[in-house]
Amino acid sequence: MRSLDLDFLKICDAETREEIVRKKLGEEKCRVLDKYGLTLNNRLYWEKVQEKYPTQEHFSLKLTVKTSTLGIIFHLHRLCFAKTKYFENNWNDYEPCKYIWTEGGFSPCELYDMEAIRQKGTGIVVDLRDLSRIKWLHEFQAMCRELEQRKMQRTFDFRDSKMASL
């Protein structure tokens, strides 16, 4: 945050504020903000303004600068820090995807556009809405253990089939 003058951002016009902040955040984070229709208010919170609904503040500029793109998406879906950290630390095992009915299911997509996460080794899809329904840490840890076990089983099955073909 040191490179952003927060006091100036609070008093400048909305267009200037957006321009300065977007340069700092980079393209990928800005694509997430655009997808969800978020704008930065003069209190430096990202908000969604809709005609027929009350304005809803989501998170601060500070959070946006400090966290990853995945962290922003998880925050928008009201996912806790434990879930964010688990998937950030294990992201090489996963890929972003979204449901496309014309393609008959979940298809890979860019990170900013994801609605679900697919475990690469097993094809298991975890929808972000389902992930947000997990409220207890022990339930989330059980899910992680299951995903890890399935990944390991798939790895062993692959090795066994490769050895059998030799």
What's the structural domain count of the chain? 2
Query: Which among 132, 128, 135 is positioned nearest to 32, based on CA atoms?
Result: 128
Parent domain of 147? 78-165
Enumerate the H helices of the chain as residue ranges: 6-11, 14-25, 27-35, 61-66, 69-76, 81-89, 128-133, 137-165
Q: Is 82 found in the same domain as 61?
A: no
Q: Identify whether 47 is part of a domain.
A: yes
Q: Is 92 found in the same domain as 41?
A: no
Digit-coded pLDDT (tens) for 57-115: 999 999 999 999 999 999 999 999 999 999 999 999 999 999 999 998 999 999 999 99
